[in-house]
C-alpha cells in the first residue's frame, strides 16, 4: 500500500510539473537536491538519488540544454564537473514549489490534520527503525521535498545559490 501510494504521488507530481512547468519528476528531484546543496558533482547527485551515473548524464544534458542548470569544472579536480542551478531555475522555482504543494494538498484532502501528522510520525518511525536495524542509507530528509520548510526556504536559496554558481 505504501509503495502504491508513493507511486501515485510521484506520477501525479510528474503530471503536474510537466503540465505547468515543463520539468519532469526526475528533473525536479535533481533541482530540489541542488536547491539544498548547490554545486554537487555528478557522482554525488547520482549517489544521493540512487541512480547510476550513466543514467543521470542524459538527464543533466537535457536540463543544461534547457538552461535549468550548468556544469562547471571542479577547480580542485578538473576531471569532475560541479552542477549549479541557474537564473532560469530561480525564475521557475516558485511555480515548481507550487506544483509540489498542490499535489501534496490534493493528496491529503479530506484527512484531518491530526491524522496527517500522526501518519508522518508513523512513517518517520518506520524509517528510523529500518535505518537502525539494517543500516540502510536512504539519503532522504525526514521532511518531504514538498514541505512548508522547502517552500519557505526559497528566499534564502535565491540569495545564496547563485553567488556560489557565478563565482
| pLDDT mean by block of 10 residues, the chain; 167 residues | 95 97 96 96 93 92 97 90 96 96 97 97 92 75 43 49 45
Residue 137's pLDDT is: 64
Residue 142's pLDDT is: 39
Asked if residues 67 and 88 have their Cβ atoms less than 8 Å apart, the reply is: yes
Partners of residue 81 on adjacent β-strands: 73
pTM of the predicted structure, to 2 decimals: 0.78
Residue 160's pLDDT is: 46
Residue 78's pLDDT is: 87
Q: How far apart, in whole angstroms, are the C-alpha atoms of residue 28 and residue 70?
A: 15
Grid coordinates representing 116 are: 496527517
Residue 113's pLDDT is: 96
Assign 85 to helix, strand or coil: strand
Partners of residue 73 on adjacent β-strands: 81
Residue 53's pLDDT is: 86
Delimit the domains of the chain by residue range: 2-110+147-166
Residue 79's pLDDT is: 87
Domain range 2-110+147-166, its CATH number among 3.50.50.60, 3.30.230.10, 1.10.3720.10, 1.10.10.10: 1.10.10.10
**Nearest Cα to 60, choosing from 19, 24, 92?**
24
Amino acid at each position: 500500500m505504501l509503495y502504491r501510494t508513493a507511486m501515485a504521488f510521484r506520477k501525479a507530481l510528474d503530471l503536474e510539473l510537466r503540465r505547468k512547468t515543463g520539468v519532469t519528476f526526475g528533473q525536479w528531484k535533481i533541482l530540489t537536491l541542488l536547491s539544498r546543496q548547490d554545486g554537487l558533482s555528478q557522482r554525488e547527485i547520482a549517489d544521493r538519488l540512487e541512480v547510476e551515473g550513466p543514467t543521470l548524464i542524459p538527464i543533466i544534458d537535457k536540463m543544461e540544454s534547457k538552461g535549468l542548470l550548468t556544469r562547471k569544472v571542479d577547480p580542485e579536480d578538473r576531471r569532475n564537473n560541479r552542477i549549479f542551478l541557474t537564473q532560469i531555475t530561480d525564475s521557475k522555482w516558485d511555480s515548481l514549489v507550487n506544483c509540489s504543494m498542490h499535489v501534496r494538498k490534493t493528496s491529503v484532502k479530506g484527512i484531518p490534520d491530526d491524522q496527517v501528522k500522526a501518519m508522518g510520525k508513523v512513517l518517520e518511525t518506520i524509517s528510523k527503525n529500518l535505518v537502525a536495524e539494517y543500516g540502510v542509507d536512504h539519503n532522504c530528509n525526514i521532511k518531504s521535498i514538498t514541505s512548508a520548510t522547502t517552500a519557505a526556504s526559497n528566499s534564502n536559496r535565491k540569495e545564496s545559490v547563485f553567488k556560489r554558481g557565478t563565482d
